Structure formats: structure tokens, C-alpha cells
């Protein structure tokens, strides 16, 4: 007997891939049970969602710049327009639940959902609460968090669940490397982190005892002639999971989706947070628990990076200590925790 889907869930987030990946994971797990729509802007989320086949609708939105700009006044107008677009859309499509994983594009949607009496779940990924989530939190029924430290920001509405990822991704044909060198995987993000790119390009010649796969970002490849060095502009997420599992050491920014995977797979990691951003707070959690080596703007030099990579290669005890610590940082089974909350609201 075919189950009739009677409930509709709206998922929303964007700007970067970070807020979108947990929502996609949720969709994949629950798509046979609920109707899904994605509401976002014209950012990276649009391309990611298109590959999943989720109906996508665009609304107007804005953001707050922490400096004087006339665009701040224009964005207030865009947020008001986005509110009324959301209001019309929610009433027309009879939404039962709105879930946002952050981003300013979700703000007018969440406000409209509250106005229409539609319950809202906010998923707070980073340690530091962003302005968008602060603006949405008063209108949410539940705020789920990845870190225990975030609970105090939201009071009784908050629930610690961990992050929402699927660890059961299977790839039929796994690409194998034609050598037995340990893998050093560099993840600079889909758009590429030039700080990390420059660091790797300067260091690769002195890391010949690794095989290096470097995700450098679209349009950012540099011509280098090293036998054990492979540059990729973009790595599909499913293949990226395989490479993370295979790697001896992973070098990454501090976005929560990647950090969650590094924790789940207990990976020896070198973290290079984006300077002056919430990623520094995320990295600090891992550093305090001796779960990863963190190189900040000052310490992320060629000399330090090479020294750390070589130390990790030869020090198995340090590897094991970091692997044991990192798997304790983020609570497991975030997907199941979120599903339980959704079912409690809808059923």
C-alpha cells in the first residue's frame, strides 16, 4: 500500500553549503514520508538543491553588514518583500512545519511562518550564535544545537542533538590511488580558501612522503608538477566522504558539516579557521579538547604546517590520542534526534 503524504515541510538555508547539507540529509531520510519544498535565495544553495530534485522557490532577503552601508537600508526593504512573499507562499501551499539551518534568507520566512501559526525549528550549528538565528529564535518552537555550549544562548527552547549527517553513504566505484603513500586530504571548501591554497602550494614540495589530494575551489587551480599531488576544483560530497575515511590526515576549514564528519570518522585533523569568523569559535572547542591541531592566521605558516604534517606522520600515539578525542566532541545521532522532534510536532 502506497503511503499518502499529508504533511508538508519547508526547509530553508543558504549562502554557503554548510547550512544546506544537514537539510539535504533530512530530506533524503524523510522524503517518502513528507512533502518537501526548499525556500532560499540565489546563492550556492540553488545548485545543491537542484541536484536533489527538491522543488525550489526563491524569495527576497537581506543581511546586516557590521559597517555603514546604504545597502543595509535596501536590504530592509528586501526583507519586508521576502516576508510578504513567504506569507503568500505558506498560505497557498499549507505548510505544516518550517526548518531553517541558518542564513539571513530564512529570516523573513520564519517571521511569516510564526505569523501564520506554522511551527518552526531552528538548527544552530556553530558554537557562536549568528545574527540570523538570533533574529529567528524568538519565533521558533524548538532550537536544536550541535554543541552543549550553545544551549545557554536559547534557554528552554533549546535541545542538544548534535549535527545532522548521513554516515551511510555508499559509492559503487571508489577511486583508488596507484600508490601506498598515506593520504593527506586538503578541504578548502567549494569556493576554495586562498589562505589554505597558498599554504599547500608553498609546502607540497616538502611533503613527498604523503599523497596529497587538494580541493582548491572552482577556477583556482595552479600549475604544479609534483607526482604525488592531485588538485581538484570540486569534490562531490559522496566521494569526499570516501576520501575522508581513507585519509590519514585531513586539513580543513571549520565549517560544521565537515567538522561533524571528521568527528564521526575520528580523523586526525589540522584545522585552519577562517580569520575573524565564527569558525574560530568552532576551532577553539576542538583545540580545548585536544581533538585537532589548530593553526590560526599567525601560526598557519609554511614552516609550521610542514612541521605538523611530519610530526603527525611519525607519531602514532599522537594520532590515536587525537582520533579518540575528536570522536567525543560532537554528539552522535543528530539525524535521529531531529526526526524525533519533527515527528513530535507533526504527529
Tell me what pLDDT residue 259 has: 94
- Give 212's strand partners: 184, 229
Nearest-10 Cα torsion for 268, 169, 161, 127? 50
Task: Dump the DSSP string for 2-22.
Answer: PPP---EEEEE--SSSTTHHH
Exposed e or buried b per residue across 13-45, where buried means at least 16 C-beta atoms within 10 angstroms of its C-beta: bbbbbbbbbbbbbbbebbeebbbbbbbbbebbb
**Whole-prediction pTM value?**
0.84
**C-alpha pair distances (Å), 203 with each of 31, 224, 302:** 45, 12, 6
Phi and psi at 320, nearest 5°, equal -65, -40
Residue ranges with strand state E in the chain = 8-12, 35-40, 56-58, 97-100, 120-124, 142-145, 158-160, 183-187, 211-215, 229-232, 249-252, 268-271, 293-294
- CB distance 38 to 57 below 8 Å: yes
Confidence of residue 61 (pLDDT cuts 50, 70, 90): confident
Tell me what pLDDT residue 62 has: 65
pLDDT digits (tens, 9 = 90+) for 91-129: 998 999 999 998 889 999 999 999 999 999 999 999 988
More confident residue, 245 or 14: 245
- CB distance 25 to 164 below 8 Å: yes
- CB distance 189 to 255 below 8 Å: yes
| Runs of H (alpha helix) within 220-333 | 237-246, 256-264, 279-288, 302-314, 316-326
Summarize the confidence of residues 261-278 as an average pLDDT. 94
Summarize the confidence of residues 183-197 as an average pLDDT. 86
Q: Is the pLDDT of residue 1 over 50?
A: no
The helix/strand/coil state of 260 is: helix
Label residue 333 left, alpha or beta by phi (over 0 means left) and psi (-120 to 50 means alpha): left
d(CA 7, CA 242) in angstroms, rounded, equals 34
Look at 7-16, 57-66, 75-84, 237-246 and tell me which has the smallest mean pLDDT: 57-66
Angle between helix 20-30 and helix 334-346 axes, rounded to 10 deg: 60
Q: Is the pLDDT of residue 22 over 50?
A: yes
Confidence of residue 346 (pLDDT cuts 50, 70, 90): very high
Give the distance from CA 87 to its chain's centroid. 28
Domains of the chain are 8-162+331-346 (3.40.50.2000), 183-326 (3.40.50.2000)
Instruction: Return the DSSP state at 104.
Output: G
Amino acid at each position: 500500500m502506497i503511503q499518502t503524504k499529508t504533511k508538508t515541510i519547508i526547509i530553508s538555508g543558504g549562502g554557503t553549503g554548510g547550512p544546506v547539507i544537514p537539510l539535504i540529509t533530512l530530506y533524503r531520510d524523510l522524503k517518502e514520508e513528507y512533502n518537501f519544498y526548499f525556500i532560499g535565495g540565489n546563492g550556492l544553495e540553488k545548485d545543491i538543491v537542484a541536484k536533489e530534485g527538491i522543488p525550489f522557490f526563491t524569495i527576497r532577503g537581506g543581511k546586516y553588514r557590521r559597517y555603514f552601508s546604504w545597502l543595509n537600508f535596501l536590504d530592509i526593504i528586501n526583507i519586508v518583500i521576502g516576508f510578504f512573499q513567504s506569507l503568500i507562499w505558506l498560505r497557498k501551499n499549507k505548510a505544516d512545519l518550517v526548518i531553517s539551518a541558518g542564513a539571513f534568507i530564512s529570516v523573513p520566512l520564519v517571521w511569516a511562518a510564526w505569523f501564520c501559526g506554522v511551527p518552526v525549528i531552528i538548527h544552530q550549528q556553530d558554537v557562536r550564535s549568528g545574527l540570523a538565528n538570533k533574529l529567528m529564535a524568538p519565533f521558533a518552537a524548538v532550537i536544536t544545537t550541535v554543541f552543549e555550549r550553545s544551549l545557554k544562548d536559547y534557554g528552554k527552547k533549546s535541545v542538544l542533538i548534535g549535527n545532522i549527517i548521513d554516515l551511510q553513504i555508499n559509492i559503487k566505484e571508489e577511486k583508488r590511488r596507484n600508490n601506498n603513500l598515506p593520504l593527506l586530504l586538503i578541504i578548502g571548501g567549494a569556493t576554495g580558501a586562498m589562505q589554505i591554497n597558498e599554504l599547500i602550494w608553498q609546502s607540497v614540495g616538502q611533503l613527498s612522503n604523503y599523497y596529497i589530494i587538494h580541493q582548491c575551489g572552482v577556477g583556482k587551480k595552479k600549475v604544479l608538477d609534483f607526482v604525488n599531488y592531485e588538485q581538484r576544483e570540486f569534490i562531490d560530497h559522496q566521494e569526499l566522504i570516501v576520501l575522508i575515511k581513507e585519509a590519514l590526515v585531513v586539513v580543513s576549514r571549520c565549517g560544521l558539516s565537515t567538522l561533524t564528519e571528521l568527528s564521526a570518522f575520528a580523523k586526525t585533523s589540522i584545522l585552519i579557521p577562517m580569520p575573524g569568523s565564527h569558525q574560530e569559535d568552532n576551532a577553539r572547542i576542538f583545540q580545548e579538547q585536544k581533538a585537532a591541531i589548530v593553526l590560526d592566521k599567525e601560526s598557519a605558516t609554511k614552516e609550521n604546517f610542514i612541521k605538523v604534517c611530519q610530526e603527525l606522520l611519525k607519531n602514532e600515539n599522537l594520532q590515536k590520542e587525537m582520533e579518540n578525542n575528536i570522536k567525543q566532541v560532537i554528539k552522535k545521532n543528530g539525524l535521529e534526534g531531529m526526526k524525533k522532534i519533527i515527528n513530535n510536532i507533526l504527529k
